[in-house]
Amino acid sequence: MKRILCPLLLAGLLAVACTKTECPQEKLTANDARIDEIIAQMTLEEKVEMLHSKTNMSSAGVERLGIADIRYADGPFGIREEGVPNGFQSAGWTLDSATYFPTGSALAATWSEDLAYKYGTGMGKEARLRGKDVILGPAVNIQRLPVGGRTYEYLSEDPILSAALALYYTKGVQDQGTAVCIKHFAVNNQETSRGSVDVQIDERTLREIYLKPFERAIKEGGAMSVMPAYNKVNGDYCSENEHLLNEILRGEWGFKGMTVSDWGGTHSTMGAMLHGLNVQMTGSNYLGQPVIDSIAAGKLTEEMVDEKVRQILRVRLAVEAVPDDVANTQMTSQPESQRIAREVAEKSIVLLKNEGILPIKADVKKIAVIGQNAVLKTQSGGMGAGVKALYEITPLQGIRARAGKDIEVSYAPGYKNFPGRRWGPAPAEPDPLEATAIDEPADPALLAEAVALAKEADLVIFFGGTNKSIETEGSDRKDIKLPCGQEEIVQALYAANPNLATVLISGGPTDLQVLEPVSPAIVQGWWNGTEGGTALAKVLFGDIAPSGKLPFTFPAKLEDSPAYALGNFPGNSAGGDLFTLMFRPDVLKMTPAERQALIDALPKPVSEYTERFYVGYRWFDTKGVKPKYAFGHGLSYVTFAYGQPKAKVAGDKVKVTFLLANEGTMDADEVVQLYVRRIGSAVEWPDKELKAFRRVSLKAGEHRKVTLEIPLDELRYWNGTKNTWELEHGKLQLLLGAASDDIRRTAEITI
Ligand code: BGC
């Protein structure tokens, strides 16, 4: 078979020889000859039609030539409800209820490549049922800020974990014949001024931390499309960023597919045309008529348009269009996907603390469930990334169903729900269970009702956390405090009945300084999808052992986290929110010149990443700052014993083998984690870095040999002076454990 070289050779990258069928991006070129024939038959106008949106969720094909439109669907944790052609408002369909999968941070808490793959297959299949070609996901940006509005959509603060899950999610989706549009490329780590903020970042940090998840999904997973982010990186908008799109994505990683701007994230005709964008979403003011005019003026050529169309057609031909009479003939949500959603939820739940309260004991006959988060549905809200779920089992429903007739489960709301910014008109009558401010103190009547129930119960389960108005696309949280007097409530509940477990329902971390001392057990329950309540009840009642591990650090206090400690956030990044401006009705009516004048007058927000690669636990460990709960932390109902690891370099990998034993009396999963510390290195490194992990299922009392592998490539660093990846030879300490702060065994190796 003819062997070709993937274009990973640039910039000193390792040469990877692979065949056309092995090299995932090369597969996209399989139809290039046919594509050239198609392009030869197209008019310039038809070609340019493909470079921008046709409707809010589609871009044009060429009907005359039998080329179907490309249909997109949000992503990332369920196929979004069908919207009207020119907006996000509901189209009022009845068969478009989809499976609500656990959100990104919950998926990441499983630390499971297998589950990420299954999740992808579920998403991919449901997309096909809806006639969609491209899923706008996975969303894989690194969680840099605990307050980040999209933390719940994103995966982890760690690039190795994020990259592995991004890769398997991508494979799962694309194996079903649907394309991913991996987003948001790149360094989209804050919602504050997201439409205009200029991220100032050094090349090593960019490569080692922020690009990793994209790199694996593209190079190994063959991700077919990429969504450039709203923000700028080092001076240029991501949708016209030569370095990101042309040099790295296409040049170094060999990307052959198409880039699709985030909605409203295209900024100029020449920038987009010259620096790597294929499709403007949405609108045609840059990649529509102005492209034709620029060709006429001799500023652009038709060949440039041909190349963009070629890249789009590669995706179009790789994904079979679902015929209109086949699409939307059955309900989007399918039992198989619902089972996957449940399995992910079961394995995502993190037991943060347990002083013998959980699992719920056999003599518990009266449970008081307190807190509105036990009954609030989490499928929608959070702005774009929501799902119209076919059904959603809330925590209270899950607990009641599992408790059966013998256990009495009472409920009180405990605190008011903060509904956030209201999009529609205010209701005629204010809802007595809604707060008007996020920091509104506890309501005395609700508090008294909750305390009375707690006093009578054998066990109190307090449901705290945030909601999808507090953690949402479009804005970051001001802080990570528990809202609406929750701290006061849990203190009062504990005083009334110390047999208390807290379940946190949130996508990101919260400040637990007050809550932790008055919660003998704490569970991180996430926004856990359609079967979230069922999964939670199984863990609480001990039908299964908890096995999720934190994909990000819970700082003791917000100020401890790196971007805050260095004053980088909000820093100079607030103000100048171009994004909200662009959708203002008066601005939409302006001429391009007027709009430009308005934009020019805005402050120019900048986000400095001077913490460099000390993101998340890399910072906490290196600086010796103790977090409340560390990256990778998560308890079980059993204990696991780790045998002494044997480590060796075998070929291009470090191999670590050890015995893992489940010492408990129930079946359980452990997520084993392997970190690397450099010894006597001349290069600057964080104290330690995750390099491999595996979820291992062991029966009660079972032990098994486990092997972890670290490709030597993953031990390289980006040498900014030479502009290349480099492997530093020398000694490494391998740290094997159950969490970043729970290292059980170590070994040394020389590479
Ligand atoms: C979000 C994207 C999303 C798009 C379409 C944007 O506001 O940033 O993640 O895919 O809208 O809904």
Q: Rounded to the nearest whole angstrom, what is the distance from the C-alpha of residue 262 to the centroid of ligand 1?
A: 6
Ligand 1 near 262 CB (within 6 A)? yes
pLDDT given at position 2 = 39
| Dihedral angle of Cα 334, 339, 344, 349, to the nearest 10 degrees | 120
Q: Rounded to the nearest whole angstrom, what is the distance from the C-alpha of residue 88 to the centroid of ligand 1?
A: 10
Q: Rounded to the nearest whole angstrom, what is the distance from the C-alpha of residue 299 to the centroid of ligand 1?
A: 31
Please give the CATH number for the structural domain made up of 335-558: 3.40.50.1700
Closest protein CA for atom 6 of ligand 1? 263
Buried b (16+ CB within 10 A) or exposed e, 93-108: eeebbbbbbbbbbbbb
Ligand 1 near 136 CB (within 6 A)? yes
User: Hey, do 7-56+65-79+96-318 and 335-558 end up sharing a CATH topology, with the first three levels equal?
Assistant: no
- Quick check: 192 and 476 in contact, CB under 8 A? yes
Closest protein CA for atom 11 of ligand 1? 263
Ligand 1 near 74 CB (within 6 A)? yes
Which of 151, 262, 281 for a ligand 1 pocket mutation test, highest count of atoms within 8 Å of Cβ?
Answer: 262
Size (the chain), residues: 751
Q: Rounded to the nearest whole angstrom, what is the distance from the C-alpha of residue 552 to the centroid of ligand 1?
A: 23
Ligand 1 near 252 CB (within 6 A)? no
Residues 12-71: tens digit of each pLDDT: 344 445 666 578 999 999 999 999 999 999 999 999 999 999 999 999 999 999 999 999
What's 713's DSSP letter? G
Ligand 1 near 73 CB (within 6 A)? no
Q: What is the Cα–Cα distance from 551 to 553, expressed in whole angstroms?
A: 7
Q: Are strands 731-739 and 668-679 parallel, antiparallel or unpaired?
A: antiparallel
Q: Rounded to the nearest whole angstrom, what is the distance from the C-alpha of residue 269 to the centroid of ligand 1?
A: 21
Ligand 1 near 238 CB (within 6 A)? no
Q: Cα–Cα distances in Å, from 728 out to 215, 545, 683, 718?
A: 21, 41, 8, 10
Q: Are strands 134-136 and 70-74 parallel, antiparallel or unpaired?
A: parallel
Q: What is the Cα–Cα distance from 612 to 205, expressed in whole angstroms?
A: 6
Closest protein CA for atom 8 of ligand 1? 262
Ligand 1 near 263 CB (within 6 A)? yes
Non-local CB neighbours of 107 within 8 Å, separated by 6+ positions:
77, 101, 115, 116, 119, 155, 165, 169, 344, 348
Q: Give every strand in the sheet of 521-524, ordered side by side.
A: 350-354, 521-524, 500-505, 459-465, 366-370, 408-412
Closest protein CA for atom 12 of ligand 1? 384
Q: Ligand 1 atom closest to Cα of 75?
A: 10
Which among 380, 381, 390 has a CA at the least distance from the CA of 93? 390
Q: Rounded to the nearest whole angstrom, what is the distance from the C-alpha of residue 534 to the centroid of ligand 1?
A: 30
From 69, 198, 262, 476, active-site residue: 262
Helix (H) or strand (E) holding 621: helix 617-623
SS3 category, 209: helix
Ligand 1 near 81 CB (within 6 A)? no
Q: Rounded to the nearest whole angstrom, what is the distance from the C-alpha of residue 339 to the centroid of ligand 1?
A: 27
Architecture field, domain 7-56+65-79+96-318: Alpha-Beta Barrel (3.20)
Helix (H) or strand (E) holding 291: helix 289-296
Q: Rounded to the nearest whole angstrom, what is the distance from the C-alpha of residue 69 to the centroid of ligand 1?
A: 19
pLDDT given at position 595 = 83
Which of 57, 74, 282 for a ligand 1 pocket mutation test, highest count of atoms within 8 Å of Cβ?
Answer: 74
Which of 261, 263, 476 for a ligand 1 pocket mutation test, highest count of atoms within 8 Å of Cβ?
Answer: 263
Q: Ligand 1 atom closest to Cα of 183?
A: 9
Residue 330: Cβ within 10 Å count: 11
Q: What is the Cα–Cα distance from 1 to 131, expressed in whole angstroms?
A: 36
pLDDT given at position 21 = 58
Q: Which residues of the chain have pLDDT under 70?
A: 1-21, 422-424, 579-580, 582-583
pLDDT given at position 423 = 62
Q: What is the Cα–Cα distance from 506 to 143, expressed in whole angstroms?
A: 14
Q: Rounded to the nearest whole angstrom, what is the distance from the C-alpha of residue 153 to the centroid of ligand 1?
A: 11
- Write down the domain spans for the chain: 7-56+65-79+96-318, 335-558, 638-750
Please give the CATH number for the structural domain made up of 638-750: 2.60.40.10
Ligand 1 near 191 CB (within 6 A)? no
The letter for the amino acid at 514 is V
Q: What are the phi and psi torsion angles at 398 (to 5°)?
A: -65, -45
SS3 category, 87: coil
pTM: 0.96
Closest protein CA for atom 7 of ligand 1? 263
Could you tell me if residue 398 is left (phi over 0), alpha (psi between -120 and 50 degrees) or otherwise beta? alpha
Ligand 1 near 183 CB (within 6 A)? yes
Q: Rounded to the nearest whole angstrom, what is the distance from the C-alpha of residue 73 to the centroid of ligand 1?
A: 10
Ligand 1 near 500 CB (within 6 A)? no
Q: Rounded to the nearest whole angstrom, what is the distance from the C-alpha of residue 374 to the centroid of ligand 1?
A: 28
Residue 422: Cβ within 10 Å count: 10
pLDDT given at position 508 = 98
Closest protein CA for atom 5 of ligand 1? 263
Q: Rounded to the nearest whole angstrom, what is the distance from the C-alpha of residue 598 to the centroid of ligand 1?
A: 24
262 is catalytic: yes
The letter for the amino acid at 476 is D
Residue 414: both structure tokens together? 């405990």
Q: Ligand 1 atom closest to Cα of 184?
A: 9
Closest protein CA for atom 4 of ligand 1? 263
pLDDT given at position 603 = 85
Closest protein CA for atom 2 of ligand 1? 262
Which of 473, 476, 577, 582 for a ligand 1 pocket mutation test, highest count of atoms within 8 Å of Cβ?
Answer: 473
